[in-house]
Structure 1
């Protein structure tokens, strides 16, 4: 019996969600990678459906990290803001191209006194969402430091990055236009994908997390395919195109650490 909860009907993803802005997107292609679609159709996604992928959400105090997560996971908005102490997390189950997929969304404290505690939970992330307030230019400037701290605990080459501006509903068109230009430049420097959302109205919140789930899923499947391309049966049997016996088990090399 599976210990994971069932996938809700409104968490089914059949097509790759499009980015908020083509000017600052991780991928500009219209659909999932052809290898990923084929693997899902042929049920060759390995352990992807059983793993839980970790997403950490970081940013200054009061930029709206908790409200953002609660809007997506619980479809609620609480104007009586309470600062997160340490960390909190939510589990979300998706079905992507017919394959179950789980995200663990880690909501980290923005207060300086909790930063040391929160940073211990950064390790093992597959995606990082750096949040800023579109009505507060200073919070955008601080995103560099948040990202730097988060990347200390992870391999930058294997992380998907998202720069997310919250409270879009509180920004005037002229004010937002200016900060969007600055945010897109920042996203390009970070090699992140830019989004602007409103937890109050729900604008772009579902689309953001569907995009995060889809790109994280795609990265997981591609990594699984790369791994299975040179391994079989949990790395016990290796396939070599230069070997006469395709099912031969390689000899273990002797360690030189004690020589």
Structure 2
């Protein structure tokens, strides 16, 4: 397992929150390239298939709070599916990635979503990502098909290009901001409960434990934005 600091990380920066986000989807859809683009602003043309699991981090400011995103990436091949339970444990966000030029990778999305919902916290924030928009002339999945699926399943949706850096930052920031808002809503409720003499489950805690977040709000307004 490898870890790395994202570009822009502060050396001794105080961290207010740590959010674990997982990347899932078929092999070769560009998960590792999306991670590399987000964490280090890099893209490698000779990228090798991910073996096992690795994660990288990047710290960002969201509403004046320091949020450390811990992004986990695993191989999409069937033989590595055994990592699932440990891989999903503690995740509060997920990027569900397909390749817009490979129909099969999109057809497998419902299976990945079922696995995600079977292993992860029920309130996990999910973004459906159609990657490789730089190959639009080879497109096999119409944007509207993905939008319709995302709306039906209550997912955020964006199309990205890790190669051109298109929408990668926006995708992660959307998910992290949504998690941040959910967590702060929960903290506010906990604070009110404490003020009324009831114990607050999140009082004084900086690192968020899944299972303590409230229901994810409806995402109809965001799911169909392809920017």
Common fold by TM > 0.5: yes
Q: Which has the larger radius of gyration?
A: 1
Residue in 1 aligned with 2:8? 8
Contact persistence 2:6–2:58 (CA under 8 A):
no
Q: Give the alignment partner of residue 61 of structure 2, picking from 95, 108, 112.
A: 95
* 3-state secondary structure, aligned to 2:88: coil
Count of residue correspondences = 191
Query: Is the partner of 2:194 in helix, strand or coil?
Result: coil
Deviations along 1:153-186, one digit per CA (max 9) or x if unpaired, are 2232x1111100101101228x47x521110111
SS at match of 2:149: helix
State whether structure 2 residue 136 is matched by structure 1 residue 171.
yes
Name the structure 1 match of 2:145. 182
**Alpha-carbon distance, 1:50 to partner:** 3.2
**TM-score scaled to structure 2, two decimals?**
0.77
Q: 2:155 aligns with which of 189, 192, 197?
A: 192
| Residues 31-67 of structure 1: CA deviation (Å, up to 9, x unaligned) | xxxxxxxxxxxxxxxxxx5331111110000000000
The Cα RMSD (Å) is: 2.4
Measured in 2, the distance between the counterparts of 1:144 and 1:203 equals 25
- Give the superposition deviation at 1:6: 11
CA distance in structure 1 between the aligned counterparts of 2:71 and 2:45, rounded to whole angstroms: 21
Pick aligned residue for 2:189 from 226, 250, 257: 226
Partner of 2:111: 145
Query: Does the residue aligned with 1:209 lie in a helix, a strand or coil?
Result: helix
Q: Pick one of 106, 111, 124 that aligns with 2:77.
A: 111
Gap regions ≥5 residues in structure 1? 11-48, 240-259
User: What runs of 5+ residues in structure 2 fail to find an aligned partner?
Assistant: 200-227
- Correspondence for 2:47 among 75, 81, 84: 81
Report the counterpart of residue 238 of structure 1 in structure 2.
198
Please list, as runs of the form range in 1=range in 2, the aligned pairs for 1:23-102 lying within 5 A after superposition: 50-102=16-68
* Aligned structure 1 segments of 4 or more residues deviating by more than 3 angstroms: 5-10
Partners of 1:108 and 1:147 in 2: CA distance: 15
* Normalised TM-score (structure 1): 0.68
Partner of 2:176 in structure 1? 213
